[in-house]
Amino acid sequence: MSFITPTDSVHVPALGQGRIMRGWHQCAAVLRSRLGGVSDAAAAPASDATSPRWRDLALRCARATAATTALAVLLGLGVSGTALAEGTRTIHPATGPGSTGNRGVMDLTTGLYAGVARQRQFLYVYAQAGEVILLGSRNRSNGGDIFVYDPQSFGPRGNETIPPTASFSCSSQAGRGTIASRAQELAGPNSADLTGTVTDGFDPCWYVAPSSGIYGVRFTAATSGNQTNTASIADPRISTSLVSAWDVTVRADASSLADLNGRVFTYAWAIYLTANGRVITNNLHYVSNDGFRYRQTFQGLDPNRAVFYANAKGFIDAGAPLYHDLRGNNANVNAGPSFTAGVTAEAPSYPIFFSDVEPTGPNAAEVNRVLTALAIPLAPQQPQLTSPTFVGNAGGYNTTVNSGGVFTFTTLNTLTYEIVIRRGNVLPGADPNHPAGCVDDYDPANVCNRVLTGVALSGNHAILWDGQDNAGFAFPVGSFDFQIVGRNGEIHFPMIDVEGNSDGGPSLVKLNPFNAAEATTVYFDDRGYRTSGGTVIGDLNGHLCGAGNLQVQPTPTHSLTGVDSTDPNLGGSGHYYRYWSGSNDPNSDCNSSANTYFGTAKGLDLWALERSPVVHEPVVIIPPTVGVDVGTMASVTPAVVAGDTAYGSFTFTNAGDTTATGVTYAVTLGNPGVPATCPASVNFTLVPTGVTATYNPAPACTITFTGMPTSLTPGQSLNFNFNYVVLPTNPGPIPLATVIAAANENNDVAPNSANAQTVVAKPVITVGKSAVPSPATLVNIGDTITYTVSVAIANAPLTSTFTFVDTLGPGLTFGSVGSQSPQFTCGGSLTCTLPAGTGIGTYSVTYTATVNAAASGSVANNVTPSGGGGDNPPSCSTCSVTHVLVNPALTLTKSASPASVTQAGDVITYTFSVQNTGNVTLTNVNVSDPLLGALVCTPIASLAPGATASLSCTGNTYTVTQGDIDGNGGGDGDIDNTATASGTPPSGPAVSDSDSAEVTLPATSPALTVVKSESSTGPYTVGQTISYSIVATNSGNVTLHGVLISDANATLGTCTPAQPATLAPGATLTCAATHVVVQGDIDAGSFVNTATADSDETPPVTDTHTVTFTANPALTVVKSESSTGPYTVGQTISYSIVATNSGNVTLHGVLISDANATLGTCTPAQPATLAPGATLTCAATHVVVQGDIDAGSFVNTATADSDETPPVTDTHTVTFTASPALTVVKSESSTGPYTVGQTISYSIVATNSGNVTLHGVLISDANATLGTCTPAQPATLAP
């Protein structure tokens, strides 16, 4: 074992984080145990962590756990890119898998492994016409040669027939093709014409591929200078029997340095390390015929000389996969116990690549070219299994002990099936056949269960079960169930004579699984087994070499439920699965020594698969029926390709509890009515002891027996297995009919007859067509379209010639066939055929056509398939392919807001929306508009087909002018504005589109209005001036000319502008005017004045303005004294009475009256007419009487009246000063002297000495006696 250096890196496939961490912790545990108690692998002391032993363990960890780059860093390992080119620099890159351990040195000897795989390495390389195949070998400068063979049939895969003449030999180019060192090996070739070099590169020999196809390549040994083969990766040696370093690289042309990786493959990797103890750690990459892709990583396998390949069945027993190992007796494993028992090895059939084949990996495009040429689908199909059921001899899912029954099911996209009948839990000692008891599981390896496996292509299947378990004991009475799955992607990896495998493996990763959880799951079984013919190889379910053999078996010995092949610490072992030790390689069968490598002289099988969902159904075992009940069951291969082998089984049983007597049997194979359906001969691989079965071909088509018992004991079964070759002339179907009868049968539950048939499969042909560019891609005139017609053949090879005719439609000119599967023959433009016998697979033709100038709209072509020999004509999906021509187009939508305007000065805002109405992306989409001089829009950088976008613009407004309205938009009443949008397609001139947005103008409506208003303020009196402002306004929407203002009742003053004027809409002509008020205006109550405006475009318009006067008739009267008092009785008071028109209108019928005075002369004579302010004056008099003075005043009211006013009065009061006075004079009216008694007579006179009448005048005299008073008192006395 070699060790990696600090610069080595690890391959880190991307798996789930859970698996990464689980693998890391497992690995850490291993490292801890191996490093003697280091607490964490990543924390090992520097002295340990840098030791080769630690680093090797770390590399194993990183490989197994598929860790990320972070894990590699954690381990202190470098990380590098993928190795380039193809050959030993791919198998053994500078870093990663294959960079450590030993070199897988190419074997050139002619031995045949397992009878199917040649030790001589043969390589294949796919190249297209004009590409260059570059070649190099370590042996080249020492006489070694490299031969290239043009595309042709090379015979059986892995056991190729070397063509007698090579198309090219490297020796024809002197000095070329030598890989002289490891550095040159890693660097790869310089350009073929040496114009380009790579550091440390070698000068290759090279061959230009004359056509597209798969070429053969063969390397030869050196003729001199042999060096001992050390299998050192660092030191490739010259060898006269081997090739240590080799390179096959494809490039586009002679000057190119770009490698087209994924083009090189083989069907059997044959290597010879020339000694044991040399291990390989490299990757190989496989693709199954149904499209599943795998990466295999060796984990230190010690093969010495070995061959590795892959196929669908591994080793074959009765036409089905053996699912066990092959025991041989020599180094080539081509004879030995397994061969003697009828087991054979299936030939290599799946390609092995030396570069990564991940579907999304860096080599995917080139790998896909190869797979297409090999008729392998680029993507697999998921397996499906439906309608599983068990039919027993007692009807339904019931069967009697030891009778078994038939499992029926339908599959799609499958290659094989697996049925496990579960026994369930059995306690130790409960079943004498299984004294140790039984574990309850579905493990196919569980001896208490029964596993049935075999080939199951898409279709209906019937599989016969004999009622026994894996150990050959009958299932007891009870209720059980079975688990069934359909499988595809089944791939077997036989390893012939690999000898040692101390660390286990190899690891396997399915790169395109449907069930990712099982992507790293593998299956194997290194135990002894029983063949279909009944031969036991080794100890059944024990040691493959037999009980007691000392060879150390692999650990574990088997896993039929699957094991994670990437787990480096399986079960805490510190190893991968299936590891074993040893040191001796005797190359003989089962040498019983603990030192003997388990792998020596053996073919070890390993397989992986993709499973359909698991289904469980019941099986019920019932006791024998009462009495005699004989029955039969039969099954055959449901469908077989003509020329292949059909397999069948039938059984006769007594399901009763009483011995059947007088038993007779009859079997027919083939239809005697159609003799061609009867096989020519039949091979019986299983018959009961003492029985001979003979097939009697047409016309009998029967199987007859000798030695068959005429009585069957209860539960006794007679089982037969057979096979035969279905002749190409057999039309099918091939029926199998079995009949049993017993003379004493008395309980007929089990069927007495059984029928099954084998259909001779006919091809199912499906044709499909694709194109590059795809139909969704647009094309231009002059473009080249590459078409690929794929023909998938399923079910069976062609039985007649298949033809397709490709008809090019108008606008296409045929180019040439670029590549085709070798089986195709093509001619013209274009007719291609596949010959009868073309096998199952997918075949393709790639050709070109050019779009010519006649193309319009689209171009199309159509494939018409026919023939092939199927029951139905070839089906064709997407057989008509249409490409639409590039059609750049742009649609502009211009919008205006508002949709209509009413006047000049209104602002219209325009928006621009563009839609890509073509079928290519447009760039730099912009718009221009001659009406909008200031328009600036941000270009749309990219506009996808069908997309719509609005441009962001400034200056996208327009102000309506009067000229627009005056002109009525040119006569149509609209502002018409056309913008143009343009865009740039990927090729060709720019495309454009225009759109107009019409904004409706108002209808032309000439109109003139005039308004006359007072510019002065009233109220007005006679003689005052009323000032007017007369304004004529263009109230329409067009310009008016010759505008004049006139006013018959006013005097016009200045007009602005001067008239006649031209007025725009809304403009005005203003004139001043005056009128002097006359009394008549006021008497009328108002002054009505009309102004007139006129223009050339309108009729005259007028406006009347009325100045109203408030009619305020008023009359006042004033009475005043014209004489001077004071007055006494009898004197005359003179008055002046003046009536004045104090209103603002003339008064008529003005009269003055005075009830208490005498009117004199009136001026003017009354009734009078008085203008405002005029007066009527009358004189009046009144003679004072005592009553006036007594009253204290004389109140006198004058009244004035007119026709227009109510009477008005004025009262004048002449006041008198009231001076009441009373005097009394007492005088003696007698003459005295007087004596007593005498009467003195008095005269007492009381006099009113004032100016007012006195009332209640009394005279009294206390000392005299009043006599008569005149007048009597009390008296009233005037002054």
Q: Which residue has the higher pLDDT, 494 or 1018?
A: 494
Mean pLDDT of 309-333: 95
Token pair of 854, please?
A: 């006649």
The tens digit of pLDDT for each residue in 642-695 reads: 888 898 999 999 989 999 999 999 999 999 999 999 999 999 988 999 999 999
The verdict on 327 and 434 lying in the same domain is: yes
Contact assessment for residue 464 and residue 650, using Cβ atoms and an 8 Å cutoff: yes
Q: Is residue 395 part of a domain?
A: yes
Contact assessment for residue 1169 and residue 1146, using Cβ atoms and an 8 Å cutoff: yes
CATH number, domain of 810, equals 2.60.40.740
HEC profile of 845-875 = EEEEEEECCCCECEEEEEEEEEECCCCCCCE
> Which of 271, 261, 253 shows the shortest CA–CA distance to 208?
253
Q: Which of 446-450, 592-596, 836-840 has the lowest mean pLDDT?
A: 836-840
Q: Is residue 670 part of a domain?
A: yes
Distance, in Å, from the CA atom of 498 to the CA atom of 500, rounded to the nearest integer, reads: 6
The tens digit of pLDDT for each residue in 721-757 reads: 999 999 989 998 999 999 999 999 998 888 899 999 9
The verdict on 55 and 135 lying in the same domain is: no
CA angle, 276 then 541 then 330, to 5°? 35
Mean pLDDT of 25-29: 40
Phi, psi of 141 (to 5 degrees): -75, -5
The verdict on 944 and 1036 lying in the same domain is: no
Q: Is residue 361 part of a domain?
A: no
Q: Is residue 302 part of a domain?
A: no
The verdict on 991 and 1028 lying in the same domain is: no
- The pLDDT of residue 47 is above 50: no
Q: Find residue 1088's DSSP bridge partners.
A: 1106
Contact assessment for residue 323 and residue 305, using Cβ atoms and an 8 Å cutoff: no
- CA dihedral (467, 471, 475, 479) in degrees, to 10, reads -110
The mean pLDDT of the chain is: 89
Q: Is residue 995 part of a domain?
A: yes
Mean pLDDT of 932-945: 93
Phi, psi of 1245 (to 5 degrees): -115, 120
The verdict on 1098 and 1138 lying in the same domain is: no
Identify which of 490-504, 620-634, 756-770 has the greatest average pLDDT: 490-504
Helix, coil or strand: residue 369: helix
Distance, in Å, from the CA atom of 253 to the CA atom of 208, rounded to the nearest integer, reads: 8
Distance, in Å, from the CA atom of 306 to the CA atom of 104, rounded to the nearest integer, reads: 10
The tens digit of pLDDT for each residue in 1054-1078 reads: 999 999 999 998 899 999 999 999 8
Q: Taking each helix axis from N to C terminus, what angle separates 17-34 and 52-65, rounded to the nearest 10 degrees?
A: 160
Task: Report the pLDDT value the prediction gives residue 21, as an integer from 0 to 100.
Answer: 36
Q: Is residue 246 part of a domain?
A: yes
- The pLDDT of residue 35 is above 60: no
The verdict on 694 and 753 lying in the same domain is: yes
Contact assessment for residue 420 and residue 435, using Cβ atoms and an 8 Å cutoff: no
Q: Which element (helix H / strand E) includes 1009? A: strand 1008-1014
Task: Report the pLDDT value the prediction gives residue 701, as an integer from 0 to 100.
Answer: 96
β-strands 630-636, 734-741: how paired? Answer: unpaired
Q: Is residue 657 part of a domain?
A: yes
DSSP structure string for 145-213: -EEEE-SS---STTSPPPPSS-SEEGGGSTT--B--SHHHHHH-B--TTSSS--TT-B--EEEE-SSSE
- The pLDDT of residue 26 is above 80: no
- Give 555's DSSP letter: B
Q: Which of 723, 745, 760 is the last residue of a domain?
A: 760
Question: Strands, E, within 527-594: which ranges?
Answer: 529-530, 536-537, 558-564
The tens digit of pLDDT for each residue in 1166-1203 reads: 999 998 989 999 999 999 999 889 888 899 999 999 99
Phi, psi of 483 (to 5 degrees): -115, 135
The verdict on 941 and 834 lying in the same domain is: no
Q: Which of 234, 249, 269 is the last residue of a domain?
A: 269
| The model scores a pTM over 0.85 | no
Task: Report the pLDDT value the prediction gives residue 40, as an integer from 0 to 100.
Answer: 35
CA 986 to chain centre: 26
Q: Which of 696, 731, 760 is the last residue of a domain?
A: 760
CATH number, domain of 1088, equals 2.60.40.10
Q: Which residue has the higher pLDDT, 961 or 172?
A: 172
The verdict on 133 and 199 lying in the same domain is: yes
- Could you tell me the pLDDT band of residue 84, with boundaries at 50, 70 and 90? low
The tens digit of pLDDT for each residue in 508-558 reads: 999 999 999 999 999 999 999 999 889 999 999 999 999 999 999 999 999
Task: Report the pLDDT value the prediction gives residue 728, as an integer from 0 to 100.
Answer: 87
Q: Find residue 1081's DSSP bridge partners.
A: none
- Could you tell me the pLDDT band of residue 380, with boundaries at 50, 70 and 90? very high
Q: Find residue 563's DSSP bridge partners.
A: 522
The verdict on 340 and 252 lying in the same domain is: no
Token pair of 936, please?
A: 């600036």
Distance, in Å, from the CA atom of 919 to the CA atom of 917, rounded to the nearest integer, reads: 7
- Could you tell me the pLDDT band of residue 85, with boundaries at 50, 70 and 90? low
Q: Which residue has the higher pLDDT, 346 or 64?
A: 346
Task: Report the pLDDT value the prediction gives residue 1119, as an integer from 0 to 100.
Answer: 93
CATH number, domain of 966, equals 2.60.40.1530
Could you count the other beta carbons within 10 Å of the beta carbon of residue 1258? 10
- CA dihedral (129, 130, 131, 133) in degrees, to 10, reads 90
> Which of 759, 658, 738 shows the shortest CA–CA distance to 406?
738
Q: Which domain holds residue 1026?
A: 1008-1108
Task: Please give the tally of structural domains in the chain.
Answer: 9
Helix, coil or strand: residue 351: coil
Mean pLDDT of 1249-1254: 88
The tens digit of pLDDT for each residue in 584-616 reads: 999 999 999 999 999 999 999 999 999 999 999
Contact assessment for residue 716 and residue 653, using Cβ atoms and an 8 Å cutoff: yes
Mean pLDDT of 706-728: 93
Distance, in Å, from the CA atom of 326 to the CA atom of 334, rounded to the nearest integer, reads: 9
Task: Report the pLDDT value the prediction gives residue 1046, as an integer from 0 to 100.
Answer: 94
Mean pLDDT of 1196-1219: 91
Q: Find residue 344's DSSP bridge partners.
A: 316
Task: Report the pLDDT value the prediction gives residue 965, as an integer from 0 to 100.
Answer: 85
**C-alpha distances in Å from residue 519, one per residue of 507, 522, 1120:** 11, 9, 142
Contact assessment for residue 471 and residue 448, using Cβ atoms and an 8 Å cutoff: yes
Helix, coil or strand: residue 23: helix
- The pLDDT of residue 63 is above 60: no
The tens digit of pLDDT for each residue in 942-963 reads: 999 999 999 999 999 999 888 8
The verdict on 1082 and 1023 lying in the same domain is: yes
Question: Strands, E, within 533-636: which ranges?
Answer: 536-537, 558-564, 602-604, 607-611, 615-622, 630-636
The verdict on 737 and 787 lying in the same domain is: no
Q: Is residue 851 part of a domain?
A: yes
Sign of the C-alpha dihedral, residues 895, 898, 901, 906?
negative
- Could you tell me the pLDDT band of residue 902, with boundaries at 50, 70 and 90? confident
The verdict on 924 and 982 lying in the same domain is: yes
- The pLDDT of residue 778 is above 90: no
